[in-house]
Structure 1
Amino acid sequence: MANGLDDVVAAETVLSDVDGLGGRLTIRGHSLPELAGRWNYAQVVRLLLDGFFDDLPGDANLTRALGQARADVFERLLPSLPLLASLDVYSAMRAGMALLPDGDRLTDALLLIAAPAVLTPALLRLQRGEEPIAPDSRADHAADMLRMLSGSVASPALASALDTYLVTVCDHGLNASTFATRVVASTLAGLTSSVLAGLGALKGPLHGGAPGPVIEMLDAIAEHGDAAGWLRDEVAHGERIMGFGHRIYRVRDPRVDVLKAVVRQLGGEGETGRRLAFAETVEQAALDVLRVAKPSRSLQTNVEFYTALLLEAAGFPPSAFSNVFAAGRVAGWIAHAREQQTTGRLIRPQSRYVGPVPDLVA
């Protein structure tokens, strides 16, 4: 039996392929470098959803429809925001999305795709004593998310950086949250039920819950003053080095260099540039320490490491990093849910009982 379902093929998909040995990510026939920084998020949403909704419009109309969906989410959920804001920001986003219609139409899908981008800034503003800002339905999706967070129009470079991030994390094979989404979708539950399953899985620190601790690690190393020494101590005590190692990739995660390049473009001589230079020093020290401490394992930099730097530069607190991950990944979840509903069947694996056996009465 494969522990953790390793190497078990649970679905056939046209959506994405993760080549762990070659370090390549393919999304609907396109390599990640073809998409990241060249296609905007709305275009990639259309790519993912193509064939799963009969009324899917072209790129321009889908951009407008997604903008209208942001406005609709804000109007629907505004009365609930003060109560939601009493929760942690991820749980609050998830609870807000649970209030959306649980259908399987394109309009339902677009509300779910819009929701993290609307709810996350609104909740963060409420939690720091500020009023939520309504979406601009005419704006680009990533740029509008940043405007709703800060209250001012983001620079083109920052908006492009966040947009590239959303594209980079939009889908990634049959990971834990996507599998959870497909399991629920296979029961023919609605898209909201399916996405909520993905959100539940994404919250865990072994999945999307990990980028925030990268910032804590960098801050701890900066205070300590000796990156290699701090890292060796963590490994010696059995602690995980955040931002390194991946269940699938045995070489460098291809998303790392995309995000590192984006952060470098933002950096310049300011605080982001200094932060990047320090992070690169920590990255090399971590790779050296892990190579010596765990020579039998290939523990390379993963997407979490530079995600943390990018989202920090964009103004999101570490507590909301998983929210922004969800804002990118939700389109992939919906595509997988629709694929499962239209081409798959009820997912019902077998288990092997290993507990005690009762005495049988003759």
Structure 2
Amino acid sequence: MQYIPGLAGVPATESKISYIDGQKGLLTYRGYNIMELAEKSSFEETTLLLLFGELPTRDELNDFDQQLRENRRVKYNIREIMKNLPETTHPMHMLQVVVASLASFYPSTEYMKGGTENQDYINDVTVKIIAHMATLVAQWEHMRNGYDPIEPRKDLTYAENFLYMVTGEEPDPDWARLLDACLILHAEHTINASTFTTMVTGSTLANPCSVISSAIASLSGPLHGGANQMVIEMLEKIGHPQNARAFIEDRLAKKKVIWGMGHREYKTKDPRATILQQLSEKLLLKKSESGELSQMFETALEVERICEEYLGHKGVYPNVDFYSGILYKEMGFDPKMFTSIFAVARSAGWMAHWREQLQNNKIFRPTQVYTGAGNSCYLSLDQRSDGIRSVLSKQNNLEE
């Protein structure tokens, strides 16, 4: 039996939700090219596509959009939970805690019985979770800074309302459209770490709020969703385009990560990064008073050029985190929010996979390749010369 680290290339399920061709740099949702969806669709419409497998009619889209608007407000008890968290709590940790607590407000075990009679609950909780995600992230941005949160509005789109709740100002149409495209691009990406977490937790028939909370925990790691925040920190360290080459060469020489570069699934540039770069460059030039791109964006372009020179032959190119972080920074979002915005978008894909898992559910129970000791003889305390310290010593020697 062969052990494959990270289950790389090992099929874990059959799915109709999304598809990646890493050689061609292709990503589709339910057969629709991501580039076309980012250009022509909306997050609300794309969410329906992911959930149900077809583009909705006008009436179906309007009905779903209205349901999301009606469910943006959260119960005051949920806000009380948030108020009692330390102000230093990272937005992703807040989101994990609070989304898990939603199971207390929207409890049900009915869907566990299976059958179409439980579809109303599944649809209802899907809407509530997706609608609440943006509200929670936006409210926490104010609460962690000591201010009362801004209440959501029903007259705005999903992206517009999020901008309004974060800034307190009427949303700029251009920024709202670009944020909408970001949400679409981040909504789904086959069986990544957090989506696999969704499937594993969902397969136990846990409450869907607990399922999504577990996915949020998985996304919070810097090797998954947290990379876009790390990209900004990296670009701020570089400071200026002329410093990029020395910085990248030093990182490569020390075999350190170049944040936002490379993706296990792609051997060419991440199509989402290509779309974001094009959309961002066009809008940032439009918004710039000088008619020039910001220094951070210019630095990012230079980093990409240098990395392509050194890493392109290995199939390492920018991924979606590389440009999404820059874009969120230009919108005025605090870098600590970046991964939670990712979670807001990805909630659509998580819920789609949870629903798909339920349709043909079997609890996940993989096996392992055992590499531990054989038959050991138990010794009393008086007979033991070596203990845990010897193990730790061996580990330290290996690390050195």
Q: How does 1:122-141 map onto structure 2 within 5 Å?
A: 122-141=139-158
Residue pair 2:241, 2:299 contacting (<8 A) in 1 also: no
Q: Give the CA deviation at 1:265.
A: 2.7
Cα distance in 2, alignment partners of residues 284 and 80 from structure 1: 46
**Cα 1:322–1:50, aligned 2, differ >3 Å: closer, same or farther?**
same
How do residues 91-130 of structure 1 correspond to structure 2 at under 5 angstroms?
91-100=93-102, 101-103=106-108, 105-130=122-147
Judge conservation of contact 1:74–1:135 (CA < 8 Å) in 2.
Answer: no
What secondary structure, in the 3-state scheme, does the structure 2 residue paired with 1:105 have?
A: helix
Give the AA of the match of 2:201: V
* Range with greater deviation from structure 2 (323-332 or 19-28): 19-28
Alpha-carbon contact 1:102-1:191 (below 8 Å) kept:
no
In percent, how many aligned pairs have the same letter?
A: 32
1:351 to 345, 349, 368: 368
2:25 alignment partner AA: G
Structure 1 residues 120 and 79: alpha-carbon distance in aligned structure 2, compared to 1, 3 A threshold: same
Structure 1 ranges of 4+ moved more than 3 A: none
Give TM-score, length-normalised by structure 2.
0.83
1:266 and 1:273 in contact (8 A); partners too: no
**Per-residue displacement from partner, 1:141-200 (whole Å, max 9, x unpaired)?**
011000000000111100001110000011101000000100011111121121112111
Deviations 1:116-153 (A, max 9, x none): 21111111112223221000123100110000000001
Match of 1:335 in 2: 352
Q: Gapped runs of 5+ residues in structure 1?
A: none
Q: Distance in 1 between matches of 2:150 and 2:86?
A: 15
Match of 1:278 among 299, 309, 326: 299
Q: 1:214 to 1:350 in 2, by over 3 A?
A: same
Aligned position for 2:6:
4
Query: Which range is displaced more, 172-181 or 102-111?
Result: 102-111
Relative to 1, partners in 2 of residues 1:96 and 1:217: Cα closer, same or farther, differing over 3 Å? same
Alpha-carbon distance in structure 2 between the residues aligned to 1:359 and 1:205: 39
Give the equivalent residue in structure 1 for 2:384. none
The residue type paired with residue 30 of structure 1 is Y
Let me know the Cα RMSD of the aligned residues.
Answer: 2.0
Amino acid at match of 2:249: R
Offset, 1:106: 1.6
Q: Is the 8 A contact 2:269 2:317 kept in 1?
A: yes
- Runs of 5+ in structure 2 lacking a partner? 109-120, 378-400
Asked if 1:301 is matched to 2:315, the reply is no
Residues in 2 aligned to 1:252 and 1:270: alpha-carbon distance in whole angstroms: 30
Distance 1:84 1:154 in 2: 29
Against the structure 1 CA distance between its residues 179 and 113, is the aligned structure 2 distance closer, same or farther, given a 3 Å change threshold?
same
SS at match of 1:226: helix
Residue of structure 2 equivalent to 1:80: 81
Which whole-Å CA distance do the structure 2 matches of 1:184 and 1:270 have between them?
Answer: 49
CA distance, structure 2, for counterparts of residue 145 and residue 354 of structure 1: 49
Shift of 1:76: 5.3
Contact 1:84–1:96 (CA<8 Å) still a contact in 2? no
